[in-house]
Amino acid sequence: MQQPNRPLTYDEKKAAEAAFKGLPCDPQWSEAAHAVYLGISSAMENKQNKVFEEDPWQTTTSVS
């Protein structure tokens, strides 16, 4: 179910900022802010894993 577009609340903005910076989640944030944090953290983690899988520099070649 698609949620309507709306501006982020103060704690949702703080959660987003923390997720992008790799900072811990604040237990005082609202449930919506926790969802923002978890969503961004999960997306960032998946992106990092994808980069590692597709990194052409990680291929092993032997030099004779």
Nearest 5°: phi and psi at 25?
Answer: -75, 140
pTM of the model: 0.67
Note the pLDDT of residue 50.
59
DSSP letters for 8-46: PPHHHHHHHHHHHHTPPPPTTS-HHHHHHHHHHHHHHHH
State how far the Cα of 43 lies from the Cα of 48, in Å rounded to an integer: 9
- Domain assignment present for residue 47? The answer is yes
- Domain assignment present for residue 56? The answer is no
- Domain assignment present for residue 37? The answer is yes
Domain boundaries, position 45: 10-21+28-51
Note the pLDDT of residue 26.
93
State how far the Cα of 8 lies from the Cα of 28, in Å rounded to an integer: 16
Q: How many domains does the chain have?
A: 1
Residue 51, number of CB atoms within 10 A of its CB: 10
- Domain assignment present for residue 60? The answer is no
Q: What is the pLDDT along the chain (64 residues), one digit of tens a residue?
A: 677 788 999 999 999 999 999 999 999 999 999 999 999 999 888 776 555 555 555 555 555 5
